[in-house]
Structure formats: C-alpha cells, structure tokens
Amino acid sequence: MKAIKILVLCTCVTLLFFSCEDDSATTPKAEITVSGTQFSINESMTIYFTGIADQVSIYTGDDSHDYELRSGTSNSESNTGFVVNKDLFTYSYSTPGVYKVVCVASTYTDKAIDLKQDTCSFWVTVIDDKTEIQNLSCSQVLYDEVFADKLENDEWLMKLPRKVKYNTSTPSISLSQKLSFYIESDSTKVFINDEEYSSSTKYDLSEPLDILVRSNYGTTRPYTLYTIYYSEFGTFNLSGVKGTFVRNAYDYSTFEMQITLPAGTDVSGLIPEFTTSSSTDKVYIGDIEQVSGVSEVDFSQTVTYTIVAAMDEYPNMQATSTVSVTISYE
C-alpha cells in the first residue's frame, strides 16, 4: 500500500510539472534582416523575420504606426503595428523623413495566459527624389484631356488637333493651353522656362518649352516639350468633284473624306488633287509618296492616306494622321 501511495504521489508531481510547463510561453527572440535603411518614397522596404515567435508585428514609425504611441502606453494614441505573415513584410513610405521601425516578437500559451515579448529596432531614412514625369497633358482641349507622347532623351511631343468636332460645330484649337504634370510625388516642383509652373496658366506651345523638375531632396531633371498639329487635307478633288472632310470625335488622328461621284464613273485610275495643312507635309499610300495632280490611284478598293507633319526646325518631331476615302455614287 505504501508503494502505491508513493507511485500516485510521483504521478501527481509529474502531471503538475507538465501542467506548469504548459502554462509557460516559449521565450521569444526578435531578430530581423532588412533590405536597406535608405529608400525613396513609394519604394518597397522588405523585412525578413529570422527569430522565434508565435506572432510578429512591425511598427513602421510613420503616422498611426509609432511604437511609442501604441495602445496601452501612458501617452497612448492607439497607434498600431502590422501583423507579419509568413515571416515576410514589405512596406513603402509616401512621405520623406526618418522613421524608427520596431519589430515585436510575441509568444503565448493557450488563451494568452502567459504572454512574452521581445523587440528590436532600426532607423530608416526616406527621401523624396522623384523627378520623373510619368504623364504630361493639355488638360482642357475644349472638353478633352490630350496626353503627350514620351520620347527618348527626356523629350515629350504633344500632338493637337487643329479643330475638333463638337456638336454641330468645329471650333479651332489654340496653341495656348493649360498643362498638367503627373509625378509620383506631390512635393516635387516644376519650372517652365525658368518660371514656377502653375496649373491655371496657359502656356504658349508654338515654341518648345524647357521644363525643369526639382525634387524635395534637391535633385533636378530637365525635359523639353514640343507641340505639333495633326495635318489634314485642306482640299481633295476627284474628277472635278470636291470631297467633304469628316472628323472623328474620339480620335484626333483619323479622318474620313467623303466624295459622291456620278454613277458609272471609272474609279480604277483617278488622279486626285489635294492640299494639306502645310506645304511641308508628306502624303503616302502605304510607303509610296503621293503627289497632288500626279499620282494615279485605284479607288475601286478602300484607300487610306497617311499624312506626316513635321516641325520645321525639329524634323524628327512628327505627327501622323490617316484619312480614309469613301466614295458613293448618285
């Protein structure tokens, strides 16, 4: 009987020992590796958790995520951290500054009866050196926003219609236009011809504009904006019949020329006479240049002309428009 009592007592002690161990959380270890300590705004920072924890959270140090202002502190403002998933965390800052990043490693038992935490931290510097123009537009071309084309060597080309189709009218489009710049940072400043840019100012686009972009960090980047009109047919005649020029309300680079010819007209070898917006414009069908009053064309099938306009002093700055000829018979 005495032996049985000793055995029971030992069993109880053992169960008590394991029960106590179950009520004690593992000691956490906050260890991380980071992809860097200096970033540009909107550039991703990556944190890898390499320690020991049941749960990991990261306080990034910016607005609403300051570890010193977390819930439960005397100066609490309910700042919170981000829970890390699969030991990997990525984040980007939208505002430049110096931030204290804190990693909190937590371990706990069932129902969080025993909770233990460990922390580690580092400082990260975020700079705003954004100088890239992502998009540039004439923001109010009558009722539309027209975007420029981005070329090589930080050059931009704005291609504008001479006129637009608006209800029953075709108002002309001026080369005096407001501009909009799309840049990743709101802190970046833009200067046009050495004057600070204003979204309410109309700029003279008849000459190239020198644009300088200056970041909050102080870095600068120069650009040039060129502007050209799409070319059009001024007149177009077939067999002495004048064509009607029709604009596309949605695509400023495509047009239609409508011509009504007498029934029975042989259109297989006609020589059109035409004028364009500028005497320097080049007119093509496919890759063959067309000359008014000289080039013979088979109009028995759909014919599409390509008109290439180029700036006089900058011939590599070009705008290409297309005109489809539609023939009907009376």
In a domain, 221, yes or no: yes
Average pLDDT (74-101) is 91
How many angstroms separate the CA atoms of 283 and 236, rounded? 12
Share of the chain above pLDDT 90, in %: 85
Whether residue 238 sits in one domain with residue 208:
no
Q: What is the pTM of this model?
A: 0.79
The pLDDT of residue 20 is above 80: no
In a domain, 9, yes or no: no
What is the pLDDT confidence band of residue 24, given thresholds at 50, 70 and 90?
confident
How many angstroms separate the CA atoms of 259 and 243, rounded? 5
Residue 76: per-residue pLDDT = 57
Whether residue 239 sits in one domain with residue 220:
no
Could you list the residue range(s) of the whole structural domain that residue 299 is in? 233-329
Residue 105 one-letter amino acid? A
Whether residue 77 sits in one domain with residue 146:
no
How many angstroms separate the CA atoms of 227 and 208, rounded? 7
Nearest to 99 by CA among 67, 127, 70, 125: 125
Domain boundary among 229, 251, 280: 229
In a domain, 265, yes or no: yes
The one-character DSSP state at 85 is B
Domain containing 66 — which CATH number? 2.60.40.10
Tell me the pLDDT tens digit for each residue of 277-327: 999 999 999 999 999 999 999 999 999 999 999 999 999 999 999 999 999
How many angstroms separate the CA atoms of 85 and 17, rounded? 34
Domain boundary among 229, 250, 279: 229
In a domain, 171, yes or no: yes
Whether residue 120 sits in one domain with residue 34:
yes
Tell me the pLDDT tens digit for each residue of 144-168: 999 999 999 999 999 999 999 988 8
Q: What's the CA angle centered on 304, arms 321 and 141, to 5 degrees?
A: 25
In a domain, 159, yes or no: yes
Average pLDDT (69-74) is 74
Whether residue 275 sits in one domain with residue 214:
no
In a domain, 89, yes or no: yes
Domain boundary among 98, 127, 156: 127
Whether residue 160 sits in one domain with residue 100:
no
Tell me the pLDDT tens digit for each residue of 227-272: 999 999 999 999 999 999 999 989 999 999 999 999 999 999 999 9
Whether residue 253 sits in one domain with residue 298:
yes
Residue 113: per-residue pLDDT = 83
Whether residue 78 sits in one domain with residue 151:
no
Task: Say if CB 106 and CB 120 are below 8 A apart.
Answer: no
Burial (CB count within 10 angstroms: exposed 0-12, middle 13-18, buried 19+), residue 260: middle
In a domain, 2, yes or no: no
Whether residue 122 sits in one domain with residue 39:
yes
Do you know the residue count of the chain?
330
- Average pLDDT of the chain, as a whole number: 91
Query: Which H or E run contains 148?
Result: none
Q: Which pair of structure tokens corresponds to residue 153?
A: 């060597």
In a domain, 11, yes or no: no
Task: Give Cβ neighbours of residue 317 (< 8 Å, ≥ 6 apart).
Answer: 157, 226, 228, 310, 311
What is the pLDDT confidence band of residue 74, given thresholds at 50, 70 and 90?
low
Q: Which range is least confidently modeled, 3-12, 41-50, 88-97, 268-277?
A: 3-12
The three-state secondary structure class of 220 is strand
Whether residue 305 sits in one domain with residue 222:
no
Q: How far is CA 306 from the centre of its chain?
A: 31
Whether residue 321 sits in one domain with residue 271:
yes
Helices marked H in the chain: 2-22
Q: What is the DSSP string of 262-309?
A: -TT---TTB--EEEESSTT-EEEETTEE--TTT--B-TTS-EEEEEEE
| Number of independent structural domains in the chain | 3
What is the pLDDT confidence band of residue 72, given thresholds at 50, 70 and 90?
low
Tell me the pLDDT tens digit for each residue of 32-60: 999 999 999 999 999 999 999 999 999 99
Residue 17: per-residue pLDDT = 41
Whether residue 174 sits in one domain with residue 104:
no
Domain containing 147 — which CATH number? 2.60.40.2340
The pLDDT of residue 13 is above 50: no
Strand boundaries in 28-96, DSSP class E: 32-34, 38-40, 45-49, 55-59, 82-83, 88-91
